[in-house]
Structures are given as structure tokens and as C-alpha cells.
Chain A
């Protein structure tokens, strides 16, 4: 039994190998500098005062006692944000966007979730800052909290924002609403499609808010110099996004903001938004000293992330021979306190694995009194897949068709048009399904044990777009023949390695001779976040293109040295040679050693915004055991299969698949924000918000299916998003096979399992 399988079509020299990552040693010896590790001369420490209420009007804030407290250097409230002194007229059409962005940083008129920042203090040490923050007096008028999309969308619901109107199919509603947006995607005629179906299944589903769960808390350090230069250090997935977000809320030019991304201790989509950075900046401006803020774990849970809770209804119909005739879904995803849930992306992903004639999707972005939701690995797709793949499983059961076979009969393939428009280029869903079907796991029957516990197997598939977006990199040939690669992409988990491998491959030189590093925003071209499974693909393309330039410049330099026409010189596998005179030949290192005396350094740069998508599909197979006495679900065996395109560093690709699956397992079984009747989170610690620990999981087997992405010279697609998509449904389907109960609400806690088993037994 092989734990990790790579199904390769093409072999390369460096790509597909498993070298030690360039940043590896620093990270195993404790030398790597993460955001909270930074220290600066004269550093002050900040603390945020947060709302104890989920929904309340701020009547007054009195900071005088905090300001007078010994050791305190600055106190700020929303009044210190530029928005407070800008009129609606001045801001015009941009008014609401700036209001929401500013209020999220520091609450203005209302607090909209427990943990909402209200004020912040900078002091000589974090303890003094904390003591002083407690001295700030805030008078609140409590309002009823609205905690679920169902409540928020109900007639007469309490409104979070009296100036939020529903944008629906190009129209704006006349009355204020908690529904920020409604989008619809449609093709064919679903009514006719359901008429043609032999079997139709329609079900409702709900999922709880879950947190990204990165181990490193949010942090931000800033120094606002007297000349207006603002330097920021933080843990972020995108330094340029931090820069533009800061420029927006601080009304400060991007040219006067430099963001230095530190090493980042996990993000998963949750470290894109700004939280502490603008507070550190304002506190520094006020105190004249650098200020650092770091969240504690309660703050991370209560005031950052989470991923959307959801309500979904899915209806699907198929013929007796298992062909889908119609697919319909309503997907309402909560946005937390301010608009921006991934409802639209959930809709685009919902049926992306299927080729079907008639479809109708309605997606709703709904505000509720929870922290503003953030991206979490394939945002929106896991929720949608949970609903859709559960319904597919029920169709398979009713039709008596094997779940992998059913998916093969309806699989999206090259030329299939997704409901929102794009037509797939070459994709590998069919190959993943075939790999699942022939895998030892699927070929081996569920291992039933006479221990009184129930066992079952579930299958589900999943999709993510993998779009490119903007990347930038600079390459410099060093005199010793190494090549520095400076990039704007933050390294979350192997970016330096995968970019170095692609550079080595493109230049035909050793992997060890590539020196990757990550630049601050003053030192590299604009680069979009590391996220969305884009970086290995898009930043990879940038370094490959820049490498082609390097090769050309090396050829030109050699031609100049040899006084030969450029067209007579060629670059072959890291050697620069004359095409006809075999005497004229230099290795990359030899020529690099002569650059400084023959015209100076050889450098190249590439800025790129690659078109199209490198769509990635996954199929997961899981065996579970359900304890009928306790309701606990254990994972017995797990296999993740995914088309990642060419796997640049298979170990880190496997790691992404395993980590994504583990997060999905947590989402399916354990993880959930508990709120009391006042909308206050009651489980804001790692003890009570139960993420999978090593004991909860088996080894997670992987199959990397390498169907080359036609949009990348080595066929790279990207990997990180898709593996979190299938587990929710795969586990729910396995629990069904074990127990005979369809779990239509996540997480599948022991209590829910017992309730379901008892109501099934009528006891």
C-alpha cells in the first residue's frame, strides 16, 4: 500500500523533485522572524479595547483615565481615523465603502460584533497598555443581535446598517436590508430539466462559522515618522494589499507607506484583511514612537476570520441512467458585520464538477452580528460542495449507481462551460475520478469490525478556480553564478522552494544556486496576495519569463565578449556557447564571474497578469467509524486525490492536500463558533474551539494527478485551495453510509449524531 502516489506524464530536472526548502533551516532552528518577533528601538506595545456586545450603539467614550495612566503614550478611537472628519459630500460614491472599512478598524457609531475594536492604547509595555485599556469608559445602548442568515433575511429583521441596500440583478432595493447582494446564474430551463428527471432530490443544509485557525495570532508593528513616512511590519498574505488598505483608511499616499512582510505563521485566507496595522500606525503617529500590537487567541477568534456560516438549499434531478438533467441551488452565506461573503464564489463552484443542461443558482451575501468573515481556503466552495455532494450521494443511492461512476457520467471536462461563463481548458476531473476508482482504498471494501460500532465510506469531489492575478519578480545573476530571485509573493509554505525550482529549471542551473527572497513594497513591483492557489503558478510564470530574459542577456554578453554576432551564440542547459566555434563556450558560472568587468550585472524583471484559470479538481474518499453510544465519529482511512497540474515539489503538494483535508475534517466534525443568546462567542480558545489534533487523524494518503495546465510551460495549476472542498460532504456521506442518517447541518457533533440515531430508532 503506497501512501503517496504521483501520477506524472512528464519528468523534469528540478521540477518534481523534493529538495530541502531554502527557508527550512531558519524555521527549524527558531531564527526565522515572524511578525510578533520584531523589535525596534523605543518600541511601544498596544492593546485594543473591544466591544463586549454583539450589537450596540456607542453613546460615549471617555479615554481620560487611560490617557492619564502612568506609562501610557497614546490612546485612539474612531475619531482619530480620517473618516471621522470627512463629510458624506466630500466622499461621494466612496462614502459607504470607506465607512465600512474605517468602522471595521475602529467602531464609529455602532459595534457590530463582540470583539469589535472601540479604542486602542500604546504604552511602555503590554501589561500597562492592557491595564490602561480597561480604564476607558464606553457607554453602550444594547441592540438585539442577528446571528444567522435565516434570521437576518427574515421579514422585519433588526438591521445592522440603516444605509445598506440590496444590490440584486442590477437593481438596488428601496429599503435598507441585511442582504447586501443577490446574484443569479442561470442556464437552460430548470423546470423542464426537473420534468425530465426520473429522480429529484431537494435538501436544505446549514453550516456553522469556522475559523481559519492559524497558530500565529494577528500582529502589526508601525512607525510613523515625522516626515509622514509610514513603515509597517506584519504577518500578511499580501504586503501590497496591506499597503492599499492602509492608504485607504488612513487617507495616506501609497508612496509614503512601506510594508515589510515578515514570516507568516499561517493564513489560509484569514491574513489578507488589515486589523492591527492601522491601529499601530495611528498610535505611532500620536506617540512618535514605533508601536507593536499582537492579538491574543480570544481576540483572534472574536475579531478576525471566520469563514461564513451558511444556509443552502440544493435540488438536483437525474435520469434513470444517471445523467443530470437540472441543478438548482440557493446559497446564503453570512458576511459577518460588513458585506463581502463568498456567496458568489460558492455559487460558481457549486456545480462546477458537473456537465448539466439546466441550472439556476441564487446567491445571497448577508450581514450578521459576527466578525467580518474572511477568505478561508477556496472561500465558499466547501459549504456549497457539502450541500451539492450530499445531494449527489442521495441521487446515487436512489438510482443504485456507484458514486464515482455517477460523477464520471456527469463530469466536467475540456469544453464544458461553467454556469457563469468560462469554458474549461484541459482539466483533470475525469482522471481524478478514475484514480479514485482504481485506488486500493476504493477497491478494498470497508473493514467492518465486530465492535458494535458503525462504519461507512463517503466520496465527494471539489473544485477551485486557480486564477493567476498579478505577480512581479526581479532576477540578478551574482558574480559567483548564483541567481537572486526577489519576489513580491509572501512565502506561506514553500513558495521560495517552488519558485527556486522553476527558476533552476528555466535556467538549467542547480537548485542550490537560486537564492529566493521576499521584498517589501518599496522594492518590487505590485504583487497580489499569496492565496487562491495562484502563487506557484503566477509567480512561477514571472520567474520563468524573467529567466528567459536572463538567458538572452547572457547570450548577448557572451557575444560581446567574443565579438561575435548575437545570433551565433546560444544558451543550452546552463552553458553559453558559440553555435559553430566549439572553442567559445562558458558555463553559467564562468560568464557570471565576468559580468562585473564586461558591462555590469545581468538582471531581468517580469511583471505578469496571466489570463485564464488553471482549474483544480479533487476527489476524496473517507472511511469513518461511528460510535452509537457516544455519537463520536472517527476517521479510519482517508485518501485525497487531486489534479494539481505538475507538482513542483511533490512533498509540499502532498502537505497541502493533507492539511486541507485535515481542516475539512475539523469543519465537518468539530469546529464551530458557539454563540450565547446575546451573540457572544463562548468558545474562544483552542480548548473549546476544537481543531483536529494529531490523535484525531490517521495518515492522509494522497494521489497527485498531473494533468498539465495548458497555461503554464511546466503545466503547473496550484494546489492549496481545492483540498478543503470535498471533506465536508465526503464525511457526511460516510456517516450516512454508516448510520443511515443524512447529516444536513455541520459540524456533525456527537450530540447531533445521537439525536439523529435516536430519532431514527424512534427512541
Chain B
């Protein structure tokens, strides 16, 4: 087993340095090395979307990216959305539309939605349902999540 590798990356706009083993996923690095537990593990095999992060502008399942792969690149996690001024419009819309129940899938849905609405705030229901097809929610039946994303899109136009 090779030793730990030094990685330098930008996470939520901050310059971050860490050591990680080659076998550690980005999800494991975020949660266990950097203590950023807002990104959730649901399946660890790319089928639930709970660990969605934005990686150089694209949404990815962080369980399918290795920690060493983010060397010199940019990652946005759920911890990077709210600012000192308040919540991100998507976060606010999830609250106001009761779009979370247990909340475990919520960070993944919010980050994935940001990946859509940043470029397409006018996305309609069909587009949103397609975009979020990689994120599983077992509590809501998706109804209120889709409504929250529609609502957030209105505010982000």
C-alpha cells in the first residue's frame, strides 16, 4: 500500500491541503479527513446521489471520485452554499416548501439542484425530474422537492 499523498485543492473557495491514501474516495476525504460531514453517504457506489458535490462545475457523486483526483481543482459542497448573508435560495426554498423530511438526501439534492439552476433557472418540472433522477429520496415522493426547485429557480432568474 503506497503512503499518503499530499493534495492541494480549492474547496468552497478556500485553499485546502490534506494527506490522503490513494484508495480514499473524495467522499471519505471530505467526511473523515476534512470533517465536512454535510456530504452524506447513502450507498458508496454511485446510485443514490446523497454525496453529490460540484467538481469543476459538474455535479458528481463524490463516492466515485478519488481524493487524489481533486489535486489543483475546485470542489463545492453543501457547506459552501450558505453565506454570512444567509441561506442560498435553494436552501431557503427547501425549507419553505417542506422539501425535506429525514434530511439525509437533502444536501445531495440541494447541490445537484444548484448544478442545474446556476445555468438553467427556468428549468421546468420535466427537466428537473430528469436532472434529479440520480438522487434518491425515500421520504417525500419527490413532489415537494420538485416544487422547491421550481420555486428556487424563479428566485435565481
Q: Spell out A's residues near B (CB within 8 Å).
A: 18, 20-21, 23-25, 27-34, 36-37, 39, 127, 212-217, 263-268, 294, 296-297, 492-494, 649, 651-652, 654-656, 658-663, 685-687, 691-695, 697, 699-700
Give 1 or 0 for each of B86-99: 1 = CB within 8 Å of chain A CB: 01000100111110
B26 at the interface (CB under 8 A from A): no
Q: How far does the alpha carbon of A14 sit from the alpha carbon of B135 in the complex, in Å?
A: 34
What is the CB-to-nearest-CB distance from B80 to chain A, in angstroms, rounded to a whole number?
A: 9
5 A-B pairs with the lowest CB-CB distances in the bound complex, closest first: A30-B38, A265-B104, A662-B141, A493-B101, A651-B98
The answer to whether A264 touches B102 (Cβ under 8 A) is yes
> Do residues B35 and A39 form an inter-chain contact, with CB atoms below 8 A?
yes
* Chain A residues closer than 8 Å to B16, beta-carbon distance: none
Residues on B close to A: CB < 8 A?
Answer: 21, 23, 31, 35-45, 47-48, 50, 77-79, 81-82, 87, 91, 94-98, 100-107, 110, 125, 128-130, 132-147
Q: Does B142 lie within 8 Å of A662, measured CB to CB?
A: yes
Which chain B positions have C-beta within 8 A of A654? 98, 143-144
Contacts of A27 in B (CB 8 A): 100, 103, 106
In the complex, A693→B130 CA distance in Å? 9
With contact pairs A214-B102, A296-B44, A691-B136 given, residues A28 and B142 touching in the complex (Cβ less than 8 Å): no
B140/A658 in contact, CB under 8 A = yes
Q: Contact between A215 and B47 (Cβ–Cβ < 8 Å)?
A: no
Cα A622 to Cα B143 with chains together (Å): 16
Residue of A nearest to B132 (CB): A694
- Tell which of B37, B47, B50, B146 touches A694, judged by Cβ atoms closer than 8 Å: B146
User: Given the complex of chains A and B, what is the CA–CA distance between A268 and B137 in angstroms?
Assistant: 13
Q: Beyond the given A23-B103, A25-B87, A30-B38, please list 19 additional residue pairs across the A-B interface where CB-CB is below 8 A.
A: A27-B103, A28-B95, A30-B77, A30-B107, A36-B41, A127-B21, A263-B102, A264-B102, A265-B103, A267-B102, A294-B41, A297-B47, A654-B144, A655-B101, A658-B143, A659-B141, A661-B141, A692-B142, A697-B142
| Closest beta carbon of chain A to B74's beta carbon, Å | 18
B95 touches A215 (CB 8 A): no
Chain B residue contacts of A21, Cβ below 8 A: 95, 98
Rounded to whole angstroms, the CA-CA distance of A687 and B97 in the bound complex is 29
Instruction: Tell me if A651 and B144 are in contact (CB < 8 A).
Output: yes
Which residue of A29, A263, A659, A660 contacts B81 across the interface (Cβ within 8 Å)? A29
- Min CB distance B36 to A, Å, is 8
Instruction: Report the Cα distance A207→B69, complex, angstroms.
Output: 45
Known A263-B103, A655-B101, A694-B129; judge A31-B143 contact (CB<8 A).
no
A512 to chain B, nearest CB (A): 14
List 20 contacting pairs A-B, 8 Å CB cutoff, sorted by A: A24-B100, A28-B87, A28-B91, A29-B79, A214-B104, A215-B137, A264-B102, A265-B42, A493-B101, A649-B98, A652-B98, A654-B143, A655-B98, A655-B139, A658-B144, A685-B43, A685-B45, A686-B43, A697-B142, A699-B147
A79→B134 CA distance, assembly (Å): 43
> In the complex, what residues of B have CB within 8 A of residue A686's CB?
42-43, 45, 47-48, 136
